[in-house]
């Protein structure tokens, strides 16, 4: 599954909140991983203000592969394992963090992995990130 829409119908059989991941970069070269509920719409201008970032845009596939070691459609918080230089700033959506269980691709888009939200936070922090928890959309 490459998009949220690809998973419609299939996701309903998996317990937990389905999530999406946006690999973005801004005009100043800062790289962002926005992790949020699959059904929540991100508004770039709102994110820019919330994160105090320069103009946001989707990161190029070559940059995604270089930094997180994955290709479009397979982005997930688990890919942070590949960010050896800690170039990515991680943003976790506030609504998502209120769910008890969340679902992500396990570095491939042929499966989903469920974990407790508290374990997601522990995982991200164990990699040396200090994630921002913010409202990422509407």
Q: Which residue has the tokens 């070559």?
A: 62
d(CA 105, CA 69): 14
Please give the distance of CA 33 from its chain centroid, rounded to a whole number.
5
d(CA 124, CA 114): 15
Structural domains for the chain: 5-134 (3.90.960.10)
Please give the angle made by the CA atoms of 104, 38 and 49, to the nearest 5 degrees. 110
Band (5; pLDDT cuts 50, 70, 90)? low
In the chain, pLDDT over 70 holds for what percent of residues?
90
For the stretch 33-45, pLDDT in tens is 999 999 999 999 9
Which token pair is 48?
């820019």
Band (1; pLDDT cuts 50, 70, 90)? very low
d(CA 77, CA 21): 8
For the stretch 72-117, pLDDT in tens is 999 999 999 999 999 999 999 999 999 999 999 888 888 889 999 9
């Amino acid at each position: 599954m490459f998009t949220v829409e690809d998973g419609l119908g299939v996701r309903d059989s998996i317990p937990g909140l389905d999530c999406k991941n946006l690999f973005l970069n801004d005009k100043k070269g800062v790289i962002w991983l926005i992790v949020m509920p699959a059904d929540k719409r991100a508004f770039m201008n709102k994110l820019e203000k919330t994160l105090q970032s320069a103009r946001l845009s989707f990161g190029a596939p070559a940059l995604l592969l270089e930094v997180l070691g994955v290709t479009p459609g397979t982005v997930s918080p688990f890919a942070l394992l590949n960010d050896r230089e800690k170039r990515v700033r991680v943003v976790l959506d506030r609504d998502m963090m209120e769910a008890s269980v969340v679902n992500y691709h396990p570095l491939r888009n042929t499966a989903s992995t469920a974990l407790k939200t508290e374990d997601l936070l522990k995982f991200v922090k164990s990699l040396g990130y200090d994630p921002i928890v913010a409202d990422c959309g509407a």
